[in-house]
């Protein structure tokens, strides 16, 4: 079992990583919260696989357990489900010393965390990620949200969990497709922060999964500790994401987040080579990994289609947009561009 500690101004918490530790989730969580009422929030797929195990462990540690299940999929991350969860907590008399357990991927973690942050202005919250993407990314750092009809993640809060319990044995039931989405985020961490890690990713990731998760969450917690509210360094975690979000949106979200980010990283790196922000070796290192993980690296959408969506990007500040560009393999920097120049970068990245 491995532990990574995160210290933000609002809250310090541990990320516990191990194989088979879902059975110990009750006792592990008692290190940061007291037993009381527990609401397991999960989705319709994960429910049948793992919520029984979690409920048993929590009950054995003295929790009284309720469960709330949302349909699997991004469309469940909506305001109707959010309000329904908050009403469920109220009707079942949850107090501030009771706890929401998010058991699932990023969708469950994001909506459950937001519900925990607004109910009674904040009750206890434990993240139990069940996808690789949630384990290495969304369960850590305290971004919680739901989608609005006008866009993704437009309503949310920064709300750090009391603990993250990551049992990677649950990845055994993940499809290759969904596992690969998480691999794109793993490559992202290595590209922005760690050239040695980039080298180690050439080894089969599944044989090294504990080390991989630990390295990713260590990088993320280090960045979140410097900039919890996403005003500066945290934006580095958006490497590949600005172009990636445009691709996701153009596809009506039929291209998954991980695949879109993979394409976005390839595009901004190709553009960076052409603009001489980085060397061709940096692009080769990225492409070698994207190919090894069978992730895509180009898009069918046109520059015009992508540019139109980019103009409505929520990270745009007036007529400037911050992009994360690689300087070399294992190091990225934030660069501010006039929005008009981004069209040229898109062209260079195709
Ligand atoms: N908060 C953040 O910092 C942050 C960061 C990145 C992404 N996100 C959000 O995360 C979401 C994407 O997360 P995701 O990729 O985990 O998607 P997801 O939660 O939709 O999970 C993907 C699919 O895998 C299934 N699944 C989950 N665990 C399983 C398991 N162990 N075995 C079998 N099936 C399983 C789910 O039922 C779902 O159908 C997006 O909404 C995105 O906006 C948030
Ligand atoms: Zn991402």
Look at ligand 1, atom 12, and give the residue with the nearest C-alpha: 106
**Two tokens at 133?**
């993407």
What's the pLDDT tens digit per position in 243-253? 999 999 999 98
Residue 255: pLDDT over 90: yes
User: What pLDDT was estimated at residue 217?
Assistant: 98
Strand residue runs (E) in the chain: 2-7, 12-18, 37-43, 64-70, 99-104, 124-129, 143-148, 151-158, 163-167, 320-328, 331-338
How would residue 211 be classed by pLDDT, with cut points 50, 70 and 90? very high
CA nearest neighbour of 87 among 68, 102, 71, 110: 68
Place of tokens 């990731």: 205
CA–centroid distance, residue 241 to ligand 2 (Å): 6
What's the pLDDT tens digit per position in 116-139? 999 999 999 999 999 999 999 999
Ligand 1 neighbours by CB, cut-off 6 Å:
43, 45-46, 49, 72-74, 77, 104-108, 110, 130-131, 133-134, 137-138, 141, 143, 152-153, 170, 173-174, 178, 181, 257
Per-chain mean pLDDT for the chain = 95
pTM of the model: 0.96
**Two tokens at 280?**
């061709």
| Distance, CA of 347 to CA of 307 (rounded, Å) | 10
Bridge partners of 124?
99
Cα dist from 239 to 76, 263, 334, whole Å: 26, 11, 9
Residue 314: pLDDT over 70: no
Instruction: List, in order, residues 6 or more apart from 139 with CB less than 8 Å away.
Output: 15, 102, 106, 109, 127, 128, 129, 161, 164, 166
CA–centroid distance, residue 188 to ligand 2 (Å): 9
Q: Express as a percent the part of the chain with pLDDT over 90.
A: 92
Contact (CB, 8 A) for 76 and 104? no
β 37-43/320-328 pair status: unpaired
Task: Count other C-beta atoms under 10 Å from residue 337's C-beta.
Answer: 15
CA nearest neighbour of 159 among 118, 196, 220, 129: 118
- Determine the straight-line distance between the first and last CA of the chain, rounded to whole angstroms: 43
């Amino acid at each position: 079992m491995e532990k990574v500690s995160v210290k933000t101004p609002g809250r310090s918490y541990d990320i516990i990583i191990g194989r088979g530790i879902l059975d110990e989730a009750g006792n592990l969580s008692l290190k940061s919260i007291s037993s009381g009422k527990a609401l397991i929030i999960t989705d319709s797929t994960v429910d049948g696989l793992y919520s029984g195990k979690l409920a048993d462990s929590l009950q054995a540690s003295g929790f009284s357990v309720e469960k709330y299940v949302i349909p699997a999929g991004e469309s469940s991350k909506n305001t109707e489900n959010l309000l329904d969860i908050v009403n469920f907590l109220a009707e079942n008399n949850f107090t501030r010393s009771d706890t929401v357990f998010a058991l699932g991927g990023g969708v469950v973690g994001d909506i459950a965390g937001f519900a925990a942050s607004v109910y009674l202005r904040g009750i206890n919250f434990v993240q139990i990620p069940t996808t690789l993407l949630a384990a290495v990314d969304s369960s850590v750092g305290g971004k919680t949200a739901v989608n609005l009809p006008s866009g993704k993640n437009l309503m949310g809060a920064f709300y750090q969990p009391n603990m993250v319990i990551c049992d990677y044995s649950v990845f055994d039931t993940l499809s290759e497709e969904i596992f690969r989405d998480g691999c794109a985020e793993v490559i992202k961490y290595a590209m922005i922060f760690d050239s040695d890690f980039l080298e180690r990713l050439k080894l089969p990731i599944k044989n090294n999964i504990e080390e991989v998760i630990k390295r990713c969450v260590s990088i993320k917690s280090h960045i979140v500790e410097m900039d919890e509210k996403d005003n500066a360094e945290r934006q580095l975690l958006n490497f590949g994401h600005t172009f990636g979000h445009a691709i996701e949106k153009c596809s009506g979200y039929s291209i998954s987040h991980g695949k879109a980010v993979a394409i976005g990283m390839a595009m901004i790196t190709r553009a960076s080579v052409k603009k001489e922000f980085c060397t061709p070796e940096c692009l080769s290192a990225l492409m070698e990994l994207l190919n090894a993980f069978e992730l895509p690296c180009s898009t069918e959408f046109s520059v015009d289609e992508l540019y139109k969506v980019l103009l409505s990007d929520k990270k745009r500040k007036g007529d400037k947009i911050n992009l994360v560009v690689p300087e070399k393999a294992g190091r990225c920097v934030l660069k501010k561009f006039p929005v008009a120049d981004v069209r040229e970068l898109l062209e260079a990245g195709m």
